[in-house]
Amino acid sequence: MARALLAPPTTVRLAIEDDLPAIVEIYNQGVEDGVASCDLSGTDAEGKREWFAAHDDPYAIWVAEHEGLVVGWIALSPYDTKPCFAKTGTLSTYVRRGRRRLGAATALREHLIAEARRRGFHTLISRIWSTNEASIALSRKFGWRQVGHMKEIVCKDGEFVDCVFFQLEL
């Protein structure tokens, strides 16, 4: 019996500055799709350069690659700049259109959780629009606990959206 060929796995690696155009392209798709970002318009690589540089240790940005194409990215960022929150991080996850629900977000989330533990974080916080069912399901898949629900705090295109907050204690 012949076995079906498996697609090459998605690999996750630390992002480099040369990845900025792909990161920005994927981010802008998220902005256009209107389900994840509170930005009202897209950006360009120059507009993200300072953000990229701010993700030095213990923070970082990783990309998921599939057959040489950057298909997604995830950022481990400060939850708050006050010193008492130094062991608490937050994250952003974006996956390229046409590559969603194919495992890239799972690979990125697995990698980020392992890296956050290795880097000494105690807890991770995620703020998700209540309409973003895929991100909510991904959080629950990894054992994140919903710890809050804020009503109508996002206003985009004249519509109000709730946000839910998830926490993962590492």
- Who wins on pLDDT, 37 or 118? 118
For residues 128, 129, 131, 136, the Cα torsion angle rounded to the nearest 10 degrees is 10
Tokens of 152: 């109508």
Give, in order, the Cα–Cα distances in Å from 3 to each of 6, 50, 154. Answer: 9, 48, 48
Residues 6+ apart with CB under 8 A from 151: 162
Give the pLDDT band (50/70/90) at residue 8.
low
- Residue 53: CA atoms inside 13 Å, Cβ hemisphere, count? 6
Give the tens place of pLDDT for each residue, 101-144: 889 999 999 999 999 999 999 999 999 999 999 999 999 999 99
Q: Give one DSSP letter per residue of 44-92, joined into a string.
A: -HHHHHHHHHT--TT-EEEEEEETTEEEEEEEEEES-SSGGGTTEEEEE
How far is residue 161's CA from residue 146's CA, in Å, rounded to a whole number? 17
Give the pLDDT band (50/70/90) at residue 7.
low
| Cα dihedral 77, 141, 168, 38 sign | positive
Residues 6+ apart with CB under 8 A from 116: 76, 89, 124, 170
* CATH class of segment(s) 11-125: alpha beta
